[in-house]
Amino acid sequence: MTTVISRTGWQIIALTIGLLVLAMVLAATLIASTGGSPTAAVQAMWTGSMADSTAWTVTLLSAAPVLLVAVGTCVCTAAGTFNIGQEGQVLIGGFAGALIGMRAPYDGSMLVVAVLVCGAIGGALWASFSAVIYHYRNVNVAVSTLLMTFIAVQVVSFAVTSPSILQEEGRGTSKIAGATSDQLPVNAQLRSLGEYPALQINLGLVLAVVLTVCVAVALTRTRWGLCLRLIGLNRLTAKHAGVRVGLMAGLALAISGAFAGLAGAVLLASPVGTNRLQAGLANNVGWDGLLVALVARNRPILCLPVALLFGILRAGGDFLSSSGVPFFLVDVVKALLVLAFVAPPVLIAALHKRNKSAHVPSPAPVEAVSNEKVTA
3-state secondary structure 45-62: HHHHHCCCHHHHHHHHHH
What pLDDT, on a 0 to 100 scale, did the predictor assign at position 105? 81
| Count of CB atoms situated within 10 Å of the CB of 191 | 14
Residues paired with residue 202 on neighbouring β-strands, in sequence order = 192
What pLDDT, on a 0 to 100 scale, did the predictor assign at position 217? 96
| pLDDT, tens digit (0-9, with 9 covering 90-100), for 273-291 | 888 999 888 989 999 999 9
Handedness of CA 16, 20, 26, 29 (dihedral sign): negative
Taking phi over 0 as left and psi of -120 to 50 as alpha, with beta for the rest, 57 belongs to alpha
82-96, 161-175, 234-248: segment of lowest average pLDDT: 161-175
Instruction: Give me the percent of the chain exceeding a pLDDT of 70.
Output: 89
Contact yes or no for 139/130 (Cβ under 8 A): yes
| Count of CB atoms situated within 10 Å of the CB of 140 | 13
- Helix 86-103 × helix 245-269 angle, to 10°: 60
Q: Stretch 161-186: mean pLDDT, rounded?
A: 67
Highest mean pLDDT among 40-44, 52-56, 327-331: 52-56
Containing 40, the helix (H) or strand (E) segment is: helix 38-49
348: three-class secondary structure by DSSP: helix
Containing 192, the helix (H) or strand (E) segment is: strand 192-193
| E-strand stretches of 74-143 | none
Distances (CA, A) of 361 to 196, 331, 354: 70, 47, 14
Contact yes or no for 273/89 (Cβ under 8 A): no
Residues paired with residue 180 on neighbouring β-strands, in sequence order = 278
278: three-class secondary structure by DSSP: strand
What pLDDT, on a 0 to 100 scale, did the predictor assign at position 249? 93
Taking phi over 0 as left and psi of -120 to 50 as alpha, with beta for the rest, 102 belongs to alpha
354: three-class secondary structure by DSSP: helix
Q: What is the pTM of this model?
A: 0.87
